[in-house]
Amino acid sequence: VDASPNMVDVLLQKNLTNVSAFCANIDEESVRSSAAWSSGFDLIVASSVCNFLPNYERTIRHLSQTLNNDGKLVQWDWLSSGEDDYGMTIKRILNAFDNADLNTIFVEKVFEVKFDDVMIPVLMGVASPL
């Protein structure tokens, strides 16, 4: 799911099997009314996007409602340095998972990426339905 039709087209051009892709905003109305959400998801991956969402916590709640019983939500984001609004904190991810009634499997810094001689830590959060 992406709000950008171009990003969805890029994914669809890969012709991946057992992958559904569609353009939508993740909000209560789209989750409730769109047939694309009705079968649920086995895996939801949010990669370097959650910090840019208008309401991260609400979006995680909506996504949690679309997970199948054995499904997993995997979130990748940059670890916040605390000096600006860029990135996420472990506490914020844990709180969002908890408030969305998700079982946190883990949230931790998993590696670092080097950009312009600066090492930037990457967080990974994994959760499943309760």
- pLDDT value at residue 83: 67
CA distances from 76 to 30, 31, 82 (A): 23, 22, 18
Burial class (CB in 10 A: 0-12, 13-18, 19+), 100: buried
Chain segment 112-126, per-residue pLDDT in tens:
999 899 899 999 999
| Contact in structure between 31 and 62 (CB atoms under 8 Å) | yes
Does 7 or 85 have the greater pLDDT score? 7
Read off the pLDDT band of 109 (50, 70, 90): very high
* Interatomic CA distance for residues 89 and 27, integer angstroms: 23
Tokens of 6: 């171009």
Distance CA 21, CA 124 (A): 22
The 10s digit of each residue's pLDDT in 20-76 is 788 888 877 877 777 767 778 899 999 988 988 889 999 999 999 999 999 999 999
Region 79-95 average pLDDT: 86
